[in-house]
Structure 1
Amino acid sequence: MGRIKKKGTSGQAKNFITRSRAVRKLQISLPDFRRLCIFKGIYPREPRNKKKVSKSATPSTTFYYTKDIQYLLHEPLLNKFRDHKALAKKIGRALGRGEVGDASRLEKTLKPKITLDHIIKERYPTFVDALRDLDDALSMLFLFANLPSTTAVPPKTIALCQRLCLEFEHYLIVSHSLRKSFLSIKGIYYQATIQGQDILWLVPYKFVQRVTGDIDFRIMGTFVEFYTTLLGFVNFRLYTSIGIVYPPKFNASSDERGGELGAFTLEGKGVGSTQQAIEDTPMTNGGLENKSAAAQAEADKVAALPAPETENEESTALVERNEDQVTEAIDTFEVTAQDADVLPQPQASSTETSTLFAPFTFYLSRETPRQPLEFLLKAFGCKRVGWDGVLGDGAYTTNESDPAITHQIVDRPPLPRESLPALPEATASEVPENGAASKPTALWPRATVPGRTYIQPQWVWDCVNQGKLLRPDMYSPGATLPPHLSPWVKPKKGQYDPSAPLAEQEREGEAEEYEDEDLDEEDGEEDGEAEMVSQRNGKKKTNDVLLDRDDEVKVGEGMDVADTDSGSESEEDEVPGEEWDGIPSDAESDIDEAETTRLQHQRELEAEAAGVPVEALNGRTAPKSKAAEARKKAAKKRREEEEEKARLKMMLPQRKRKLLDRIEFSTEKKNKEAELLRKKRRKIEKAKAGGKVVG
C-alpha cells in the first residue's frame, strides 16, 4: 500500500499562499507588506480552483505565489522595516514617560533610511527595460506635480516630482525625441521615442485639483516613491548619453516666479554655445536687415558665377536640378484599385520635424496655456518663445509689440471695439523724458500687427501630429476649427475616416440614395403640411355646413329615438346607402381644387427662388437621369455579388459557414456604423453649404 499524501502539500495548494499566511511568514505588518510588494513588483494571483488551493477560501481571499513570498524572505528592506518598528516602540515608551526630547533625538538619529537603488537594478537589468516601464511612472509623477499640497501629499514630494518632470522635458527638447501629442478630455497625451522605445504618458490640465477623501494616498505615495527613484536613474542615463551634466543647475528664485523650464540651465557639449548664440543674435529690425543682407550676398555670389557656354551645359544643369528636387521629395504609394490594400505612407524624417518651428518667433497671449505650448514649441525647434509677464518668468520677450514676433497664439475671438474697455492711462513710470504722457500701444484684440500671423493653439498640435506646417487661415481667431483627431488611431479598411474626403469613402450609389431620401423627406413634409391644412379647412367647412343646417331645421325635424329595433331597421330600409359625412361632395371638391391650386402656386414660387425645375420639385415627373441609372447598376451589382456569395457559402461545411456568418455579421455592423457617420457628415456639410446652423 502506497503512502497517503497529506492534504495541502502538493499541486495548487502548494503553489499558492494566502495574504494572511504570507504576512505571518514575513513577520511584518500589512501596510509594510503592501509597500514591499509594490517595490518588488509582486501582485496577487488568481488560482483556477480556489477550493483546491484552500479549504476555507472565500471569493474575497487574496492569493500570492509561494515562490514570490519565499523570494521576499531574503529582501534587505525587511530589516529596515523591523528597525523602524523597533524605533517606533522606543519613541512610544519615551513619550509615555514624558521624555519628549529623548523621543525627538531618537527619531533624528536612529531613523532608518530606505534606499531603492538595488531594487531598480533587480527589476530593470537593462536600460531598455526601464524605458519600457516608463509610461506609468511619467503619468503618475506628472499627476502629483499638479496636485496641491495636503497632509497626505507633502510639499517635498510635489517639488521632487516637478523637478524630475521638468528635467525629463529638457532632455526631450534637446534630443528632439518628442513625436506626437493629443488634447483629450482627460489631459494632454504625449509620445516620445527614446532609443527605439515609444513612451506614451498623460499630463493633466493646469486646473485646480479637488482632492477627495476616498483616495488611498498611502498606496499612491508608495508608487511615487518608487517612480521618483526610477526616473532619477533614467534622467541621469539620458543626460550623460548626450553629453549633458546631470543634474542641471536649478535657479530657485526663477522657479518661484514661475520660470519652470526656464529655471534650469543645461551644461554640456555644445549646449552653452548654442544658447549664447541664440541670445546674442539680434532678432529686431536689425536682425531682419542682417537676414536680407545675407540673402543679397548669396544672390551676388550666384550672379558672379560664369554663364554656361553651350546648351548642353544648360540642359545638364537643369537635369541635375530636377534630380535634386525629385530626390528631396517623399514618395507616396497610391491605391490603384478600389479593393487594393492601403500601404503605409512614408513619414517625414525626424530631422525635418524637429526643426518645424525653428525659423519662427512665437508670442503666447495671456489666455493660452503657456506650459504645454512652450514645451511643444521648444521640442520642435523653436528657440524664441515669448509671453506676457503675468504668465511667469523665462520668456524670450514680454513685449507684445516686438517686431521680431512672427506668430501670436490667441484663444479668444475678435470682439467689436465698442465692447472692449478703454485703454488705461500711462502711469508716472511710463512717462517719457520730455514729460508728455503717451497712451499704451493698442494691440490684440483691439488691433493686429501687420505681417504677424494670429492662430489658435490647436494649430501647434495639428502641425506636430502631421509633421508639417498647416494653413494658418483655418486656425485664425474666431474660425471654426477642423476636427482634432487622435494621431494613434489609424483608419482601417471599411471604417469611417473623418480626415479623408467623403467621396473616397462612399460605396457606389450611396450619395444618390441619400439625395433620394432627402427628396422623399421633403415631399413627406410638404404632403404632411398640405394634409394638415386641408384637414383644418375641412373642419371649418363642416362647422359652417352644420350651422346652416341648424338654421334650416323646422319643427318636427331632428333625430327621433326609436323604441324598438324594428323601428330602426325600417328607417334604415327607407333610405338605403345614404350616409352623411358632414361635407357635401360639391364643397369637398371645391376645397380640394382650391388647396391644390394654392400648393401648386407655392411650389412654383419655391422652384423659381431655388432655380429648380417645377417638374422636379413637384415630383409629378421623374425623368431618368444618370444618377438613377447609376443607382440601378449599383443595386444590380450588389445583388449579383450577394447571390454569388450565397452560392459559394452553400459549398462550405457547416462549421466554416457559421464562422463566415459571424464574420459577415461583424463586418455588416461596422459598415452600418460607418454609413451612419457618413450620413451625419453629409448632412452637416449640406447644412454648412446652405448657410444653416446645425445643432
Structure 2
Amino acid sequence: MAKMKKKGTTGAAKNYITRTRAVKRLQISLPDFRRLCIFKGIYPREPRNKKKVSKGSTAATTFYYTKDIQYLLHEPLLNKFREHKAVAKKIGRALGRGEVGDAARLEKTHMPKIKLDHIIKERYPTFIDALRDLDDALSMLFLFASLPSTEHVPSKTIALCQRLCLEFEHYVIASHSLRRSFLSIKGIYYQATIQGQDILWLVPYRFVQRTGGDIDFRIMGTFVEFYTTLVGFVNFRLYTSIGLVYPPKFNAKSDELGGELDAFQLEGRGVGSDDGQATNGDTAKAVISAEAQAEVDKVAALAEPERQEEVSTALTRTEEDENTDAIDTFEPTAKDADVLPQPQASSAEMASLFAPFTFYLSRETPRAPLEFILKAFGCKRVGWDSTLGDGAFTSDESDPTITHQIIDRPALPSTSQPDPAESSEPYATTNGDGTALKAQWPRSTMPGRTYVQPQWVWDCINQAKLLRPDLYAPGAELPPHLSPWVKPKKGEYDPNVPLEQQEIEGEAEAFEEEEGVDDDEEEAEVEDASDTEMIESNGTNGVAAIEDRDNPVEAGEGMDVAGSASESESESEDEEAGVGGDDWEGFESDAESDVSEGEAARRQHQRELEAEATGKALEPTIKTTRDRNAEVRKKAEKKRKQEEEERERQKMMLSRRKRKLLKRIEYGEDKRDKEAENLRKKRRRIEKAKTAANAT
C-alpha cells in the first residue's frame, strides 16, 4: 500500500507561502522584508485557489512564491540588516543613558553601509535589460527632483535625483536621442531612443508640490534608493559609449544661480592624446596616429596610377554611402498594393531641426523643458531673461542675432496700444544716452524676428518638420495638441482630418435638420418666455395685449372700413370652394411630406400628364434646403437599412459561436462609432459658432 500524503505538503500549498511565514523564516522585521523584496524585484503572487493554499481559509492573506523566499535566504543584505539592527540597539541604549557623544560615534563609525551594486548586476545581466527598465526609474527620479525638502524626503536625496536627471538630459542632448514629447495634464512626456530601445518618462510641471499624509514615503524612498543606483550605472555606461568623461564637472556656483544644465561641463575622453581633454568631435581624429597615417601614405604612393584612381573612386563611393543621410522610401509594387507609412525624417535631419536658429525665451515661458528640447534638436544658442537663471546665451532681448522669440502672453487689444498717428510725439527708438530701446512685447516687436507660442516647439518635433509660425503667433488660436503615440484607427475621430472626409453619408444633413428643429424650439421658448414676462408685468391687461398681437384685425391695428368686408368675402369664397371637397389641395405639400417616395413620384407623373393634356407649362417644384437635406438623409438611411439587412442574412449562415463573437465585435464598433459621431457633432457646432461669430 502506497504511503498517504499529508494535506498541505504538496501542490499549490507547497508552492506558495504567506508573508508572515516568510518573515519568520528570514528572521527579519516586516519593513526590512519589504525593502529586501523591492531591491530583489520579488512581488506578491495571487494563487488560483486560495482555499487549497491556505488550507481552507478564505481570509485576506498575502502570498509569495516559496522559491523566491528560498532565494532570499542567501542574500548578503540579510547580514547588513542584522548588523544595522544590532548597532541601532546600541545607539538606543547609549541615548537612554544620556551618552550622546557615544551614540554619534556609533552611528558614524559602526553603522553598516548598504551597497546595491551586486543586485543591479543580478537583475540586469545585460545593458539592454537595464535600458528596458529605465522608464519607471526616470519618472520616479524626476518626481523626487521636484519635491520640497521635508522630514520624509531629505535634501540629499533631492540633490542626488536632480544631479542624475540633469546628467541623463545632457546625454540625450549630446546624442540627439530625443524623438517625441507631449504636454499632458500629469506633466510632460518625453520619449528617447537609446541603442534601439524606446524610453518614455514623465516630468511633472514645476508647481508647488503638496505631499499628502496618505503617501508611504518609506516605500517610495526604497524605490528611489534602488533607482538612483541603477541610473548611476546607466549614465556611466552611456557617457563612456560616446566618449565623454563621467561624472561631468559640476559648477556649484552656477547651480546656485539657477544654471541647471549649464552647471555641468562635459569633457571628451581623448584617445592617443597627452592631456585626455579632447572634445567629443575630436575623439575620432585622435584615434589615428601619425605613424599609421605615414604607412598609409607610403602604400598609396607605391600603387599604380590606375589602381590609385580605382582605390580613390572606391573610397569616395564608400564615404558617400556612409555620409548618406537620406531616408529610404517604400514605393508600392502594384496598383492595389498596400501603401506603407513613409518615414518623416532621418535622425540627422531631426538632430539639426533647430540648428540654424537663435531662440529667446520670455520670462513667462517654462525655461527648463524648452531649453532641453531646443538643445536636443540642434539649437546651440538659447537665451532667456536674467530672472530665469544663469547660463543663457544672451539676456538682452534686443539682441539682433535672435531669430525666434517664444512668448506665452495674450495679445493686448488694439485700443490699449498707443496709436503713433494720433500721438503728437513719435516713438523713441533710442534712450537718452543713444542706446537702443529694449523691445517690449506686445507694444513693440523687433523687425525680422519670429514670435511664436511654446506649443510650436512641441508640434515641430512631433511632426519632424518646421511648421508655419503664423499659426502659432501670440494671441492666435492654437491647433489641437495631440499625443504623438496615439494613431487614429479606421472609424475613429481624427481632429486633423476635415469633417467632410470623416462623416458618413447623410450625417451633415441630419445634423442641420436637428439644429433647425432646435432653433425653432428655442425661438418658441423665447416667445413663450416673453409672453409670460408681459403677463407678469401688465397683469390682466397683458392677456388682451397678447390677443391683440395675435389678431391685429380685431384689435383695430390698421383697421379700415373694408377690413371686415374683405375678411367675410374670403370666408365666403372658402365656403363656396368647399374645404372638405376633393378639389381642394391646400394641404397637399404637407401631405406629400408624409407619403413615401413612390407615392410622391406617382403624383409628380400625374401632374406632368395633366399639364401635357391642358397644354400648360408645368410649374417647377421649388425645394428648400431642408427638403434637399431630408432627401439625402432618407437615401442614406435606406442604403444603410439595405446593408444592415444583407448583413443579417449573412449572419444567419454563421454558427452560434461565431454569431456571439461577431455580436461582441459589433458592440465595440457601435460604441466607437457613437463616440466618433458625438465628437464630430461637437466639432460641427464649434465651427458653426465660429462662422457666425466671424460673420458678425
Please say whether Structure 1 and Structure 2 have the same fold, judged by a TM-score greater than 0.5: yes
CA distance change for structure 1 residues 665 and 343 in 2, over 3 Å: closer, same or farther?
Answer: farther
Letter of the structure 1 residue corresponding to residue 516 of structure 2: L
Q: CA deviation at 1:583?
A: 8.8
Q: CA deviation at 1:208?
A: 1.0
Q: CA deviation at 1:541?
A: 13
Partner of 1:221: 221
Equivalent residue runs for 1:147-546 within 5 Å: 147-268=147-268, 343-415=340-412, 436=433, 440-526=437-523
Whether the 8 Å contact between 2:167 and 2:235 is mirrored in structure 1 is yes
Q: CA deviation at 1:499?
A: 1.4
Give, in whole Å, the separation in 1 of the partners of 2:535 and 2:112: 96
Letter of the structure 1 residue corresponding to residue 476 of structure 2: A
Letter of the structure 1 residue corresponding to residue 623 of structure 2: A
Which deviates more, 49-58 or 667-676?
49-58
Partner of 1:12: 12
Q: CA deviation at 1:533?
A: 7.4
Give, in whole Å, the separation in 1 of the partners of 2:198 and 2:191: 7
Q: CA deviation at 1:446?
A: 2.7
CA distance change for structure 1 residues 541 and 439 in 2, over 3 Å: closer, same or farther?
Answer: closer
Whether the 8 Å contact between 2:452 and 2:473 is mirrored in structure 1 is yes
Letter of the structure 1 residue corresponding to residue 395 of structure 2: T
Partner of 2:144: 144
Give, in whole Å, the separation in 2 of the partners of 1:540 and 1:34: 75
Aligned residue for 2:200, secondary structure, equals: strand
Q: CA deviation at 1:166?
A: 0.4
Partner of 2:652: 650
Whether the 8 Å contact between 1:18 and 1:64 is mirrored in structure 2 is yes
Equivalent residue runs for 1:565-584 within 5 Å: none
Partner of 1:560: none
Partner of 2:2: 2
Which deviates more, 438-447 or 36-45?
438-447
Letter of the structure 2 residue corresponding to residue 386 of structure 1: G
Q: CA deviation at 1:497?
A: 0.7
How many residues are paired up?
Answer: 572
Q: CA deviation at 1:545?
A: 13
Give, in whole Å, the separation in 1 of the partners of 2:32 and 2:47: 24
Partner of 2:132: 132
CA distance change for structure 1 residues 60 and 389 in 2, over 3 Å: closer, same or farther?
Answer: same
Give, in whole Å, the separation in 2 of the partners of 1:196 and 1:234: 15
Whether the 8 Å contact between 1:16 and 1:66 is mirrored in structure 2 is yes
Aligned residue for 1:690, secondary structure, equals: helix
Partner of 2:688: 686
Whether the 8 Å contact between 1:164 and 1:231 is mirrored in structure 2 is yes
Equivalent residue runs for 1:620-635 within 5 Å: 622-623=623-624, 630-635=632-637
Give, in whole Å, the separation in 1 of the partners of 2:34 and 2:248: 35
Unaligned runs of 5+ in 2: 271-276, 283-325, 419-430, 559-588, 594-620
Unaligned runs of 5+ in 1: 277-326, 422-433, 548-581, 595-614
Aligned residue for 1:481, secondary structure, equals: coil
Q: CA deviation at 1:56?
A: 7.2
Give, in whole Å, the separation in 2 of the partners of 1:43 and 1:107: 32
Aligned residue for 2:192, secondary structure, equals: strand
Give, in whole Å, the separation in 2 of the partners of 1:85 and 1:273: 49
Give, in whole Å, the separation in 2 of the partners of 1:541 and 1:442: 62
CA distance change for structure 1 residues 102 and 592 in 2, over 3 Å: closer, same or farther?
Answer: farther
CA distance change for structure 1 residues 413 and 329 in 2, over 3 Å: closer, same or farther?
Answer: farther
Partner of 2:317: none
Whether the 8 Å contact between 1:130 and 1:234 is mirrored in structure 2 is yes
Kindly provide the CA deviation profile for residues 76-132 of structure 1, in whole angstroms up to 9, marking residues without a partner as x.
Answer: 001111111111222223333333322222222211111100000000111111111
Q: CA deviation at 1:633?
A: 3.6
Aligned pair partner of 1:668 in 654, 667, 670 = 670
Give, in whole Å, the separation in 2 of the partners of 1:523 and 1:156: 68
Aligned pair partner of 2:639 in 627, 631, 637 = 637
Q: CA deviation at 1:632?
A: 4.2
Letter of the structure 2 residue corresponding to residue 467 of structure 1: A
Give, in whole Å, the separation in 2 of the partners of 1:26 and 1:65: 14
Q: CA deviation at 1:689?
A: 1.3
Letter of the structure 1 residue corresponding to residue 197 of structure 2: Q
Which deviates more, 350-359 or 535-544?
535-544
Whether the 8 Å contact between 1:166 and 1:260 is mirrored in structure 2 is yes
Q: CA deviation at 1:54?
A: 1.8
Partner of 1:43: 43
Whether the 8 Å contact between 1:410 and 1:456 is mirrored in structure 2 is yes
Whether the 8 Å contact between 1:542 and 1:583 is mirrored in structure 2 is no
CA distance change for structure 1 residues 32 and 636 in 2, over 3 Å: closer, same or farther?
Answer: same
Letter of the structure 2 residue corresponding to residue 263 of structure 1: A
Whether the 8 Å contact between 1:364 and 1:386 is mirrored in structure 2 is yes
> What's the % identity of the aligned pairs?
71
CA distance change for structure 1 residues 146 and 587 in 2, over 3 Å: closer, same or farther?
Answer: closer
Kindly provide the CA deviation profile for residues 131-160 of structure 1, in whole angstroms up to 9, marking residues without a partner as x.
Answer: 111010000000000111112111111111
Whether the 8 Å contact between 1:443 and 1:449 is mirrored in structure 2 is no
Aligned residue for 1:190, secondary structure, equals: strand
Whether the 8 Å contact between 2:243 and 2:280 is mirrored in structure 1 is no
Whether the 8 Å contact between 2:116 and 2:226 is mirrored in structure 1 is yes
Give, in whole Å, the separation in 1 of the partners of 2:444 and 2:281: 33
Give, in whole Å, the separation in 2 of the partners of 1:439 and 1:172: 38
CA distance change for structure 1 residues 335 and 202 in 2, over 3 Å: closer, same or farther?
Answer: farther
CA distance change for structure 1 residues 177 and 436 in 2, over 3 Å: closer, same or farther?
Answer: closer
Which deviates more, 157-166 or 440-449?
440-449
Whether the 8 Å contact between 2:329 and 2:342 is mirrored in structure 1 is no
Whether the 8 Å contact between 2:45 and 2:62 is mirrored in structure 1 is yes
Give, in whole Å, the separation in 2 of the partners of 1:526 and 1:636: 32
CA distance change for structure 1 residues 168 and 593 in 2, over 3 Å: closer, same or farther?
Answer: farther
Partner of 2:61: 61
Give, in whole Å, the separation in 2 of the partners of 1:385 and 1:254: 17
Q: CA deviation at 1:463?
A: 0.7
Partner of 1:31: 31
Whether the 8 Å contact between 1:417 and 1:446 is mirrored in structure 2 is no
Give, in whole Å, the separation in 2 of the partners of 1:7 and 1:522: 76
Q: CA deviation at 1:509?
A: 2.1
CA distance change for structure 1 residues 417 and 398 in 2, over 3 Å: closer, same or farther?
Answer: farther
CA distance change for structure 1 residues 274 and 358 in 2, over 3 Å: closer, same or farther?
Answer: farther
Partner of 1:117: 117
Q: CA deviation at 1:508?
A: 1.6
Letter of the structure 2 residue corresponding to residue 173 of structure 1: I
Give, in whole Å, the separation in 2 of the partners of 1:536 and 1:172: 68
Give, in whole Å, the separation in 1 of the partners of 2:89 and 2:65: 32
Q: CA deviation at 1:507?
A: 0.9
Kindly provide the CA deviation profile for residues 405-449 of structure 1, in whole angstroms up to 9, marking residues without a partner as x.
Answer: 00000110232598699xxxxxxxxxxxx9959695342233100
Which deviates more, 662-671 or 173-182?
662-671
Kindly provide the CA deviation profile for residues 290-340 of structure 1, in whole angstroms up to 9, marking residues without a partner as x.
Answer: xxxxxxxxxxxxxxxxxxxxxxxxxxxxxxxxxxxxx88967889999xx9
Q: CA deviation at 1:55?
A: 3.4
Q: CA deviation at 1:503?
A: 1.2
Whether the 8 Å contact between 2:330 and 2:340 is mirrored in structure 1 is no
